[in-house]
Amino acid sequence: MQWEVVIGLEIHAQLATRSKIFSGASTAYGAEPNRQACAVDLGLPGVLPVLNAEAVAMAVKFGLAVNAEIAPRSVFARKNYFYPDLPKGYQISQYELPIVGKGRLRIDLEDGTGKEVGITRAHLEEDAGKSLHEDYHGLTGIDLNRAGTPLLEIVSEPDMRSAAEAVAYAKKMHSLVRYLEICDGNMQEGSFRCDANVSIRPKGQAALGTRAELKNINSFRFLERAILFEVERQIDVIEGGGEVVQETRLYDSAKNETRSMRSKEEANDYRYFPDPDLLPVEITAELLQSGRASLPELPDAKRERFGAEYGLSDYDAAVLTASRELADYFESVVANASDAKLAANWVMGDLSGALNKAGLDITASPVSADSLGGMLRRIADNTISGKIAKQVFEALWAGETDADAVIEAKGLVQITDSGAIEAVIDEILAANPSQIEQYRAGKTKMLGFFVGQVMKVTQGKANPGQVNEILKKRLDG
């Protein structure tokens, strides 16, 4: 039997407002427990929620960015359930009338293909507090700092057909909310959380299979692993004669498995009803207008522009526009160095490699765009070779800022004087007559030997193009 995988994602993006969605308490991360929970967040009697306009503006911005219908009127509803970290006994969310309706997001896959994933809806809601099960000797601590933090829950259509597509979607969404500056995207701190709904069905069957919802996934790598594990599990269950049950499963990254957490509740278990404490949210034409005006250049548009303006391949353009910060860095380098292809190669190659190795983000790069641009100018004008540039780059990485000063201090200027290069070549040819014979007898690979010798003598500083050219002439002539 051939199985087809079907995945839909629910992403909770914590909106980057300074205060909570219905109260004035701070949303800053990392405070002492319960220091940032006010009477509203604690659910004390007699208090009333007041909607944070900034959260609404952010949801609108998101909706516009994914070409979604923005509901002119949306309604907050109470989702009733009991949990110790939810003191009111209900979560304020949106149910029948969410603020953002159907939209779509383009994703690009590593094999160069792409597709559009449908967005079902995105709604505003408040986060719950946190239950702390460790460190309390058999008791549970409750921290309500997170209670009332604004979330945008983004629900996708079940349009993804592999773990790789799900990861591509999640990454693209992550990139988008960061471009829009509506979410900091920090997955470790839980600012961007991904639940994956996974089912399988026989290839060719139209009806969807029964899904399991996977929770507790806090990185893209775990998202991929959790889905891969779950797909295998479901195949085993069905092929073993069993049935997949609709349930919520917890991903355990240490064991790389999913385990049943609870059977899936139905919507009617929550007794949703419109929250009488809150007015419907009306989106005015002005709000839409200012939302549109506040949109930055979005990832897809930037990527296309990078292709057209800098002549980059689609792949390079995609890598460089994955985050706004990386794209900005690249553009500053180009502004300094003008050779876009060279800049792309260095930013995606040596610089990204060094950043990865050091676990640093582009915003924390020890090499500024100015410094890198300065070095690339010297490659472009032939002052240094690309190979020697690696030494200059190392010095910049270690704290130097001016490539010219490094080149000067280390004596790295490229030898481009053909007379000087010829003199070295003469010496080497004279010292290696048997290798010349081999070359002339047809072993043209010996050219590499001679180039290597010249580079050794000149400490890598001879211009490689000229070395090759002169050597060939001399050996063939």
List of residues contacting ligand ADP (CB under 6 A)? 6-10, 155-158, 197-199, 208-209, 211
Sign of CA dihedral 107, 327, 325, 373: positive
Nearer to ligand ADP, 125 or 316 (CB): 125
Judged by CB under 5 A, how many residues of this single chain contact Mg ion? 1
Side chain identity at 376, as an amino acid letter? L
Nearer to ligand ADP, 197 or 371 (CB): 197
Instruction: Report the residue closest to ligand ADP, judged by CB.
Output: 8
Q: Which does 66 bind (CB under 5 to 8 A by kind): Mg ion, ligand ADP, none?
A: none
User: Smallest distance from the beta carbon of 54 to ligand ADP, in angstroms?
Assistant: 26
Q: Which helix (H) or strand (E) holds 434?
A: helix 433-440
The strand ranges marked E within 203-289 are 212-215, 247-252, 257-263, 273-274, 281-282
User: Smallest distance from the beta carbon of 154 to Mg ion, in angstroms?
Assistant: 11
Q: Which helix (H) or strand (E) holds 125?
A: strand 114-126
Task: Write the CA distances from 472 to 84, 159, 467, integer angstroms.
Answer: 80, 58, 8
The conformation of residue 179, written as its DSSP 8-state character, comes to: H
Nearer to Mg ion, 80 or 401 (CB): 80
User: Smallest distance from the beta carbon of 305 to ligand ADP, in angstroms?
Assistant: 31
Q: Which does 156 bind (CB under 5 to 8 A by kind): Mg ion, ligand ADP, none?
A: ligand ADP
Nearer to Mg ion, 10 or 304 (CB): 10
Nearer to Mg ion, 212 or 425 (CB): 212
Which residue, among 449, 316, 455, 371, has the nearest Cα to 475 in the 3D structure?
449
Bridge pairing between strands 247-252 and 212-215: parallel
Q: Which does 211 bind (CB under 5 to 8 A by kind): ligand ADP, Mg ion, none?
A: ligand ADP
| Interacting positions 10-29 with Mg ion (CB under 5 A) | 10
Lookup: tokens for 202: 């026989």
Q: Which does 422 bind (CB under 5 to 8 A by kind): ligand ADP, Mg ion, none?
A: none
User: Smallest distance from the beta carbon of 155 to ligand ADP, in angstroms?
Assistant: 5
User: Smallest distance from the beta carbon of 57 to ligand ADP, in angstroms?
Assistant: 25
Do residues 144 and 34 lie in contact, with contact meaning Cβ atoms separated by under 8 Å? yes
User: Smallest distance from the beta carbon of 210 to ligand ADP, in angstroms?
Assistant: 7
Stretch that binds Mg ion, among 8-16, 41-49, 181-189, 369-377 (CB under 5 A): 8-16
Percentage helix, strand, coil, to 5, in the chain?
A: 40, 20, 40
Q: Which does 33 bind (CB under 5 to 8 A by kind): Mg ion, ligand ADP, none?
A: none
Nearer to ligand ADP, 119 or 396 (CB): 119
Contacts of 67 by beta carbon, 8 Å cutoff, 6+ apart: 103, 104
Q: Which does 175 bind (CB under 5 to 8 A by kind): Mg ion, ligand ADP, none?
A: none
User: Smallest distance from the beta carbon of 161 to ligand ADP, in angstroms?
Assistant: 10
The conformation of residue 415, written as its DSSP 8-state character, comes to: B
Instruction: Return d(Cα 268, Cα 273) in angstroms, integer.
Output: 10
User: Smallest distance from the beta carbon of 78 to Mg ion, in angstroms?
Assistant: 17
Alpha helical stretches, state H, 12-105: 39-42, 53-65
Q: Collapsing DSSP states into helix, strand and coil, what is residue 22?
A: coil
Nearer to ligand ADP, 197 or 321 (CB): 197
Question: What is the secondary structure of 294-341 as a DSSP string?
Answer: H----HHHHHHHHHHHH---HHHHHHHTSSHHHHHHHHHHHHHH--HH
Stretch that binds Mg ion, among 9-17, 54-62, 287-295, 360-368 (CB under 5 A): 9-17
Q: Which does 257 bind (CB under 5 to 8 A by kind): Mg ion, ligand ADP, none?
A: none
Interaction site with Mg ion (CB under 5 A): 10
